[in-house]
Structure 1
Amino acid sequence: MKVRALAGVALLTTMTLTGSPATAGAPTTAAPAHPTAPQQATGLRAVADRAGLRIGTAVDMNALADDAPYRAAVAREFSTVTAENVMKWESTEPQRGVHDWAAADRLIDFARANRQKVRGHTLVWHNQNPAWVNERDLTPAQLRAVLRQHIIDEVTHFKGRVWHWDVVNEVFNDDGTWRDTIWLRNLGQGYVADAFRWAHQADPQAKLFLNDYNNEGVSAKSDAYYALVKQLKAAGVPVHGYGVQGHLAVQYGVPGDTLTNLRRFERLGLQTAFTEVDVRMPLPADPIKVQAQAQGFTALLQACLLADRCVSYTLWGFTDRYSWVPGVFDGEGSATPLDENLTPKPAYAALRDTLAIAAR
C-alpha cells in the first residue's frame, strides 16, 4: 500500500522552474522484447513497488536496440516506460494514411516482456506533427477530420496496451493564456474536449491526461488548467489525469506549493502524475549544483508520495548519455540521475532513499 507520510523528509520552498521538452528524431531500430536483467532489491523499481508507486522513464529506441547496459537498466530500474519520440504523430503517420507502428510496437513488446506499463506520448501537440499537417494544404474542416482520424487510429492500434495517454500536450502559455497553435487557430478551444472524447471512444479503459511543463506549483498556468478541467468535467468530458512534466533547473529553485497544486486537481476527481522529470544545471557541475539537483528530484517525488492520487513518477531519460537537454539549452546539462557511463549520481541515491522511506 502507498505510504502517505514521509518521516524526516521536508518539501523545499523556493521559486518556480522552467524548461520545455522539445525532443527530436524518431528512431526505428529494433529492440529485443525478452527480459534483459533481473530486478534488484535495492533498485528504483523494487523500492518504488514497495512504496506503491509506479516509476518510469522515457525510452530512446535506438539506445534500447544498440546499448545493452542501457537496455538492462530500463528493465531493472523502471515499472513504466514512455516512448520519447516514436508514438508522436510525425513518427506514426509520416505520410497521410501511411502508418509506421513498428518502433512503438517494439517498445510495447519490451514492456510486456519486462512487466512494465506504457504511457502513450502524445496524441495532440503543436510540435513534431507530420509535414503534411499544415494550414496551407488543409482547411479547418479537414484539419479537424485528420486530427480525429489520427487519434482514433493511434489509440485503436494500441488499445489495451497503453495504460495512460498524454492526450493533449502544452495547451497554455505560462501566463495562462491559450497557446497559439494550429489547433487553436483552426478548431477553437473545443479541440481539447474533442480529443479526449475521441481517445476515450477508441479505448474506454485507458486513462487520459492533460500534460504540460512549468505547472508544478500554483501559478497562472496551473490556474488555467484548473479552470479548464472544471469546465471539461462539467461537460462530461472523459479527462482522468493531470500530468506535471517536471523539467526543472537548479538555478531557478523548486516550487514550494507543488503538493497543494496536486491536491486541488485530485479534489476534482483526477489522478496526478509526474511525467517528464529532469533537473538540468549550468555546466560545469559542482557540489552545490549536484546537491540542488538531488533536492529537485526528491522534492517532486515527495509531493507525489504525499498526494492522494499521484500514480506515477517518470524521468525524461535516466542517463546523460542520451539526454535531450544539452541540445536544447546551451551550456546546460547533467540533467539525469545517472551520468554518461550509467554511474549513479547523488540524485539517484536520493530518489532511492526517499522511496525506501515511503516503503517502510
Structure 2
Amino acid sequence: MRKICILLILGCISFSLTYAADTVFDFESGSLEGWTVLNQGGGVSVSQEDKYAGSYSVKMVSDASGEDYWSVQLETPSIATKTSHLYKISFWAKAIGGGGVIRLSTESAYQLTDEGGNADRQYLPELNIGGNWAQYTYQDVYGSALRAGGSSMKLRIDAGKIPGKTYFIDNIEIIDLTPDLEEEEFVNTIPLAKEHSKFLGNIIANNVRPNFDTYWNQITPENAGKWGSVEYTRGNMNWSALDLAYNHAKAKGYKFRFHTFVWGSQEPSWISSLSQAEQKAEMEEFMTLVAQRYPAIDYIDVVNEPLHQPSNIRQAIGGDGTTGWDWIVWSFRKARQLFPNSKLHINDYGIINDPNAARRYVEIVKILQKENLIDGIGIQCHEFNLNWTSVATMRNVLGILAATGLPVYVTELDISGNPAGDEDSQYLMYREKFPVLWEHESVAGVTLWGYVSGATWKTGTGIVESNGTERKAMKWLRSYMASEASKVPNKFYETSNIGILQSPKFEIYPNPASDFLTVKGKTVEKIEVFDAFGKKISVNFKDEMVDIRSLSEGLYLLVVDNKEGIFTGKFLKK
C-alpha cells in the first residue's frame, strides 16, 4: 500500500516541496504475496492472533535452537527509493513475554548508507523488543541519518537472535524525508541577496557571464589578483582580468574583494632567485601598484592560507619573529598603510571542519587585533572540507571565530555532493549546510567559488549548467534567498553604500543618490569626487548641495575638507 504524497508550502518560497510516496506494509491483504521467507525458523505467517491495527500482523517464531539473526528471516518486496534521499524506517512490534531482539538489514551492501554516502548500513543496530506493542524507529543510526544508495532496496527482518521467541510485527513504514523540487515559479529576486543584510557573491575569471548579475552582488577575481597572474614575468604587469572584475563591481555598486597578496602558492617563480631584500621590495611594489590602480577596494585577503600554504618569502618580510607570525604582522601593517579605507582580512581553508585549526587561526587573529590591523576573518569552505563536515562542527567553529568580535566571511564556498556532481546529493548538502553559514549573525557575507558546471575549480561544484539550466541546488538556493528564512540579522551590517554617511563633522545624504548629495556640517572648504579608478571628477557644490547629475551610475569616493580635517566616504550614483 502507498500513501499519497504530501505537499508543503514554506513561507514565501516560490516552489512546492513534494515528498515521494512513502511505503507502508500493513499486511491487511491477509497474505505475504511479494514477500520472501528466507529462513523459516519456527514459523513465519500472516496472523490474526495479535495485531497493532487492522485485522492482520505478521507472526515470526525463532528456531528453538538457533541463536543467529538470520535463523528466522523475512524479506520485503522491492521498495522504490531515490538515490541520496534520506529515509526513516519504523515498525510496530511486540515479543511474547518480552525480552526479544530484532534487527533490520538490507538485501545487499550500500542499499542504505550513512548521510555522507561513505559508510555501509546493511546491518542496522539490534532493537530490544518488549512485551507490549510499541513503535521502533531507525532514523539517527550511529550518529547519522540513513541515505538511499540507489533506486531500490529490500529490507530483511532478522528475528532469530533469541531462541524460541515469538514476535508480532505490524505497520512497517519507509518514509522519504527529502523533498523534491517541483512547479517552480518566477520570483523577482535579482540578485539573490537583494534587500538582505549581507551579500551573496561569486568569482569572475576572464569574462562576466550574462547571468552573473541575476544571482550575485559581490565579486572576487578568481585568479586575476594573484601575484603570479599579474606579474608572471618580472616587471611585466597584466591587469586585464583584474580590471574586468573590479570595473564590473564598481559599475554595479557591488562589494569587491581583492584576492590576494601574501600566499605561498601562485607566487611568481622568479621571486625565489632574488635576495630577501629584493623579495621584500618586490612585494611592496606589487601592493603599491594595486593601491594606485584600484583605490576603492572593499575587502583585501592580505594573507592567504597561512596555516597551509605560508608565503615562500616570509623570511624576507619578518619571518617568525617574536610573535611567531611576524611575517603576517608586516603584511597587515603594509596593507593598512597603503589601503586605509579597505577592510583587511585573513583567509584560509581547513577551518570550518576543524575546531583545533580554528583555534590556531584565532591565535593569529588576536596578534593582529593588538595593533588593530585586521577587520575580518575569511574561511574558504571548499567541498573537500564542507562535504564531510557535520552541522554541529560547523556551528562550533563559527562560534570560535565569532568570539573574536570580528565579522566572518565565507570566501570560497563550493559543494559537490557525493559522488561529485550528483545532483540530488549536492542539493541536499546545500539545503543542510548553506543556512548554517548564512544565518549565523557573525557571518557578514558569503562568496561562492564559481557556479557554472564545467567552469569551476573543483569538479561537480557547479549549480547552473553551461546552457543556463539551473540544477536543484540553485533552484533551492534561489527560493531560499526569496524566503523570509534568509532575511537574517548581520550584526556587522555595513551601510557604506546605503543610507547616510556620517562623521563627527559632516552628514551626507541621500545615499544612493541620483541628482544631488546634501552635505551638512561645519564650514566646508573643499569637496572632491573620485571615480572607482581614482580619477577626479568635476562637480558643483553650492548651498550644501553637490550636483551629481552628470555622473554615470556607479560607486564614487567623496572627500570633504575643512580646517579640522578630511572625511572620506563612498556613495552610489543610481
TM range (shorter): 0.7 to 0.9
Change (3 A) 1:342 1:283: farther
1:322 to 433, 438, 455: 455
Q: Does 1:183 align with 2:316?
A: no
Gaps of 5+ in 1: 1-5, 8-12, 16-39, 65-70, 174-178, 326-332
Q: Does 1:313 align with 2:438?
A: no
| Aligned amino acid, residue 60 of structure 1 | A
Shift of residue 149, structure 1, vs aligned partner: 2.4
- 2: CA distance between counterparts of 1:76 and 1:251? 26
Bigger mean CA offset, 110-119 vs 85-94:
110-119
- 2: CA distance between counterparts of 1:298 and 1:194? 41
Q: Which residue of 2 aligns with 1:196?
A: 332
Q: Does 1:133 align with 2:261?
A: no
Q: Which residue of 1 aligns with 2:487?
A: 359
Q: Which residue of 1 aligns with 2:193?
A: 48
Change (3 A) 1:142 1:14: farther
Q: Which residue of 1 aligns with 2:281?
A: 145
Secondary structure, aligned partner of 2:313:
helix
Gaps of 5+ in 2: 1-9, 12-113, 117-184, 320-324, 489-574
Secondary structure, aligned partner of 1:200:
helix
- 2: CA distance between counterparts of 1:281 and 1:303? 17
CA contact (8 A) 1:280 1:293 kept: yes
Shift of residue 180, structure 1, vs aligned partner: 5.6
Q: Does 1:75 align with 2:208?
A: no
- 1: CA distance between counterparts of 2:283 and 2:256? 22
Secondary structure, aligned partner of 1:166:
strand
Q: Which residue of 1 aligns with 2:395?
A: 259
- 2: CA distance between counterparts of 1:42 and 1:121? 33
CA contact (8 A) 1:166 1:208 kept: yes
CA contact (8 A) 1:125 1:169 kept: yes
| Aligned amino acid, residue 319 of structure 1 | V
Q: Which residue of 2 aligns with 1:334?
A: 460
- 2: CA distance between counterparts of 1:128 and 1:264? 30
1:248 to 383, 406, 418: 383
1:269 to 401, 405, 425: 405
Write the mapping of 1:204-283 to structure 2, written as runs, cut at 5 A: 204-234=340-370, 236-249=371-384, 252-281=388-417
- 2: CA distance between counterparts of 1:169 and 1:41? 39
Secondary structure, aligned partner of 2:301:
strand
Shift of residue 256, structure 1, vs aligned partner: 2.4
Question: Percentage identity across aligned positions?
Answer: 24
**TM-score (normalizing by structure 2):** 0.48
- 1: CA distance between counterparts of 2:256 and 2:310? 30
Bigger mean CA offset, 215-224 vs 254-263:
254-263
Change (3 A) 1:76 1:98: same
Change (3 A) 1:232 1:300: farther
- 2: CA distance between counterparts of 1:48 and 1:204? 28
Change (3 A) 1:108 1:218: same
Secondary structure, aligned partner of 2:277:
helix
- 2: CA distance between counterparts of 1:233 and 1:262? 18
Shift of residue 303, structure 1, vs aligned partner: 2.6
Deviations 1:328-357 (A, max 9, x none): xxxxx2212112322111111222233222
Q: Which residue of 2 aligns with 1:18?
A: none
**TM-score (normalizing by structure 1):** 0.75
Deviations 1:267-314 (A, max 9, x none): 3231111111111245575xxx43332243344432333322312111
- 1: CA distance between counterparts of 2:374 and 2:269? 29
Change (3 A) 1:230 1:14: farther
* More helix by percentage: 1
Paired positions, count = 300
Shift of residue 77, structure 1, vs aligned partner: 1.0
| Aligned amino acid, residue 259 of structure 2 | H
| Aligned amino acid, residue 107 of structure 1 | A
- 1: CA distance between counterparts of 2:395 and 2:375? 18
CA contact (8 A) 1:43 1:352 kept: no
Q: Which residue of 1 aligns with 2:437?
A: 304
- 2: CA distance between counterparts of 1:122 and 1:181? 12
- 1: CA distance between counterparts of 2:390 and 2:187? 27
Shift of residue 163, structure 1, vs aligned partner: 1.2
Change (3 A) 1:346 1:105: same
Q: Which residue of 2 aligns with 1:20?
A: none
* Larger RCO, structures 1/2 (Cα 8 Å, 6+ apart): 1
CA contact (8 A) 1:156 1:203 kept: no
Change (3 A) 1:298 1:169: farther
| Aligned amino acid, residue 247 of structure 1 | H
C-alpha root-mean-square deviation of aligned residues, in Å? Answer: 2.8
Deviations 1:222-275 (A, max 9, x none): 1111111112212x0411111111111486344523233223323323111111
Q: Which has the larger radius of gyration?
A: 2
- 2: CA distance between counterparts of 1:192 and 1:14? 39
Deviations 1:113-165 (A, max 9, x none): 3332211111111111122211xx212232222222222322332121x2111
Change (3 A) 1:260 1:252: closer
Change (3 A) 1:314 1:139: same
Secondary structure, aligned partner of 1:320:
coil
- 2: CA distance between counterparts of 1:193 and 1:300? 33
| Aligned amino acid, residue 182 of structure 1 | N
